[in-house]
Amino acid sequence: MDLSRYFEKDDGSLPEVEIEFERGELVEQAFNYLFELGAVNVTVNGGYLWLRKEMREFPFNGPQDAALVTHDLADSFHVVLGSIRCNDRIVPPLGVLVEPHSLVIDYRMGSDWDRATTGGFINLLKSLINVGGRVSVEKWWGPGGQEDFCRYLGTGA
Q: What pLDDT score was predicted for residue 9?
A: 93
Q: What is the pTM of this model?
A: 0.95
> Which of the four pLDDT bands, split at 50, 70 and 90, describes residue 157?
low
Amino acid letter, 120? G
Q: What is the pLDDT of residues 89-141, one digit of tens each?
A: 899 999 999 999 999 999 999 999 999 999 999 999 999 999 999 999 999 99
Number of domains in the chain: 1
* Structural domain harbouring 67: 4-153
Phi, psi of 67 (to 5 degrees): -65, -30
> pLDDT averaged over the chain?
95
Q: Is 121 left (phi over 0), alpha (psi -120 to 50) or beta?
A: alpha
CB count in 10 Å sphere of residue 3: 18
